[in-house]
Amino acid sequence: MSLYRTELRRLVKRRFTRWTTVLGLLVLAAVVAGVFFTNQKIDAAARAQAERSAEAQWQRDVQSAEQYRAECERVKAGGTDDPKQFPEDCSAITPPPREAIAAAWFMPATFDFRESFGDTLLPLAAILALVGFIVGASFVGAEWNTGGMMNLLLWRPKRLTVLLTKLAALLTGLLALAVTTTALWFGSFWLVATLRGSTAKVTSGVWQSFALTGLRGVALAVVATVVGFALASLGRHTAMALGGVVALMVVGQFGLAILLDLAGVKFAEAWLLPTYGAAWMRKTVTLENWESCEATYFGSCEPEKLVITWQQSSVLLGVGMAVLLVAALWAMRRRDVA
């Protein structure tokens, strides 16, 4: 029997894999449902209602301005003027022009696919990466914890072949889940935009940009899966991977962020992993240092900026994944499995 098929079947049959996947999909479904029910399609009735709301708001502003001017004139006529309360000339108190109150301010929320869909790809990638990490860690961690790895090596004594085959089966399942879920994500939000928003101006270039972002999300899930698998293999327990990430995020990231802030380090976010994850998905992340001011030609103050690109993020993520995987393979080859 093929080792790869056996591992793939074991991955699919595990209840932990199924329930973790179902939970992740339920979270994503809740996001889609939330967007659907909190947006609506803009039609003629909605535009007319927004115009009426804008007109009513302008009428209230006119009435308030007239009352404020009348109060100013009354106070000045009585000689009890407070220079901090009213201007010197009460005639300067005028209502805003009608065009200053835009009907767009009163429009209900609507889902514009071109403008809003890109932002939804970040939570999709985050959920897929989390599911991949947890399943990847438990897939190999449970084998070590229950003694299944030792029994498997009795049947197939080639250690690295066994570990890499397990990883190949894991990545096959992850890619099948990630690609299918991403395709359904695209379709779901296109349906939301059709029924509760707009699909206008979605050109082939827009589709290409969204597709590339979706592929980067799948790649991020692959990296997280390999990292979880490698950490659990190094520690020979699922808790090694989960505990390591908790320690990294709580102690390493939050603690480091506080320390950098207290030390007044410039661009402290550049030392935090979430920044690079966001840069990978959004192509660039711009950090600003408002404590350092660069004067422009017009005399305004522009903060010092640091741009982190997806290329920089790819190096960090790729090197980190490779180092952990090589360490796991080295440990598998060198350490006693008993």
Among the three residues 60, 90, 106, which one is the final residue of a domain in this structure? 106
- Please list the residues that pair with 111 across neighbouring strands: 197
Which of 12-26, 47-61, 131-145 ranks highest by mean pLDDT? Answer: 12-26
Residue 232 and residue 155 in one domain:
yes
Residue 264 and residue 306 in one domain:
yes
Residue 127 and residue 99 in one domain:
no
Residue 137 and residue 150 in one domain:
yes
Residue 277 and residue 250 in one domain:
yes
Residue 205 and residue 303 in one domain:
yes
Residue range(s) defining the domain that contains residue 79: 44-106
* pLDDT (0 to 100) of residue 309: 92
Residue 58's pLDDT band (cuts 50, 70, 90): confident
Residue 199 and residue 324 in one domain:
yes
Among 290, 253, 247, smallest CA distance to 269 is for 253
Among the three residues 82, 106, 130, which one is the final residue of a domain in this structure? 106
- Please list the residues that pair with 197 across neighbouring strands: 111
What sign does the CA torsion over 301, 303, 304, 309 have? negative
User: Could you tell me the pTM of the whole model?
Assistant: 0.81
Q: Check pLDDT > 90 for residue 127.
A: yes
Q: Check pLDDT > 80 for residue 144.
A: no
DSSP secondary structure letter of residue 303: E
* pLDDT (0 to 100) of residue 234: 84
Averaged pLDDT of the chain? 83
CA pair distance 125, 23, nearest whole angstrom: 15
Question: How would you classify residue 130: left for phi > 0, otherwise alpha for psi between -120 and 50, otherwise beta?
Answer: alpha
* pLDDT (0 to 100) of residue 256: 62
What sign does the CA torsion over 240, 242, 243, 249 have? positive
* pLDDT (0 to 100) of residue 169: 93
Q: Check pLDDT > 90 for residue 125.
A: yes
Percent of the chain with pLDDT over 70: 81
pLDDT digits (tens, 9 = 90+) for 253-293: 666 666 766 666 777 777 778 888 899 999 898 887 766 66
* pLDDT (0 to 100) of residue 238: 64
Residue 9 and residue 149 in one domain:
yes
Contact residues for 284 (Cβ-Cβ < 8 A; gap 6+): 307, 308, 309, 310
Contact residues for 238 (Cβ-Cβ < 8 A; gap 6+): 137, 138, 141, 142, 145, 232
Number of domains in the chain: 2
Residue 118 and residue 85 in one domain:
no
Residue 73 and residue 36 in one domain:
no
Q: Check pLDDT > 70 for residue 297.
A: no
Residue 180 and residue 56 in one domain:
no
* pLDDT (0 to 100) of residue 146: 64
Among the three residues 53, 78, 106, which one is the final residue of a domain in this structure? 106
* pLDDT (0 to 100) of residue 55: 84
Residue 96 and residue 125 in one domain:
no
pLDDT digits (tens, 9 = 90+) for 200-224: 899 999 999 999 999 999 999 999 9
pLDDT digits (tens, 9 = 90+) for 73-105: 887 777 665 666 777 778 788 888 888 888 778
